[in-house]
Structure 1
Amino acid sequence: MHLRRLPAEEPAVRRYVEKLWLPYHRELSRTVADHGLAGDVDVVEEETPFRLDRLASEDYRTWVAVDESETMGTEREEGEGASVLTDPESALTGFVSADVERSPSVFDRPDRLVVGDIYVRSAFRGTGLAHRLVRRAARYAEEAECGELALDVDADNERARSFYDSLGFETRRHRMVVSADEL
């Protein structure tokens, strides 16, 4: 299993959206009410250019876990062989995305790396892959000189909350939501 940085290249991003991002959000929509996907758009056609734009940002990163055991015979460095992401023979097994959030100078807090999404396909859960993905994000936090990792987790996603608790994440805020027409 290798972690590859997702390049801002349309074929790789499209495959990522189809094979990981979309299944992640479909699965999440079954357990978390706020993650229902729009039924009146082609999600892949809408999400692919959005992800390409995000990846063009200097501070945003996505890493994809790739099971290359069947297709690659040699160990490669993380940045090498990004074409494996478009190879239909390689299995995409999970991902983590993260973005640097710089602290304004008026606040006495460190810059943060905000983990946007993390997903591991069900067949690879319990293998330590989720920990590897979080550690990769943490390594990027160090590279970007961020003193903290932060993330949002849905209140009704017990499995995710338990995982983040086990890693030492602490609740510092509660996000509350109300429909604008209810006020």
Structure 2
Amino acid sequence: MHVRRGTPADRPFMMGLAGRLAGVADFPWRTPAELEAFQHAFMTEALARPDTLTLVAEEADGGPLLGFAAMEPHPDDITGGPGGYLSLLAVTQAAEGRGVARALVAAAEETARQQGWQVLALDVFATNARGRRFYDSLGFRAETLRLVKPLPPAEG
């Protein structure tokens, strides 16, 4: 396996992983259709930004694509210093457990350093326990936590 810069030709592959990204969220107050629509819209917007950098993992022999990461410049929320945001990370089901996500994050970190970024931030669904353990194992730590309370419709 190797990681390379993504190209516009990789976009259909990336968008094809929207369902996998939406599928790790488990919120009783959200329908699968809402989560899928959110993920598709989020990915469409993130991948359309001109400053988004994409990385793609593929089999070394030019075989199938295995996963991708997308990142963009984003100042450090605390200091305002140079930083980046890892907006997307997904691997195919067949690539799970093969170190593909770890290789993509390592490549993202190296790219971030080359950009002069001092931090790399990301968001992960709170119910994605596997993802949270993975990011924790790579040294990512929580700085903020967004809490959501579903509200019943207003009466009257």
TM-score scaled by length of structure 1: 0.66
Partner of 1:123: 94
1:93–1:121 Cα contact (<8 Å) kept: yes
- In 2, the alpha carbon distance for the partners of 1:94 and 1:27 equals 11
- In 1, the alpha carbon distance for the partners of 2:59 and 2:151 equals 45
Give the alignment of 1:50-61 within 5 angstroms: 50=45, 53-54=48-49, 57=50, 59-61=51-53
Partner of 1:98: 71
Partner of 1:133: 104
- Summarize the Cα distance change of 1:31–1:125 in structure 2 as closer, same or farther, 3 Å threshold: closer
2:18–2:36 Cα contact (<8 Å) kept: yes
| Superposition RMSD in Å | 2.9
TM-score scaled by length of structure 2: 0.76
Alignment length, in residue pairs? 146
Unaligned runs of 5+ in 1: 72-89
Equivalent AA in structure 1 for residue 6 of structure 2: L
Partner of 1:37: 36
SS in 2 for 1:36: helix
- In 2, the alpha carbon distance for the partners of 1:27 and 1:157 equals 12
Listed one character per residue, the Cα deviations across residues 43-101 of structure 1 (whole Å, up to 9, x for unaligned) are 6xx899756632xx2x31111111142x4xxxxxxxxxxxxxxxxxx301011111111
Picking from 114, 119, 138, the partner of 1:167 is: 138
Structure of higher CA gyration radius: 1
1:13–1:51 Cα contact (<8 Å) kept: no
SS in 1 for 2:36: coil
- Summarize the Cα distance change of 1:103–1:182 in structure 2 as closer, same or farther, 3 Å threshold: farther
Overall identity of the aligned pairs, in %: 29
Unaligned runs of 5+ in 2: none
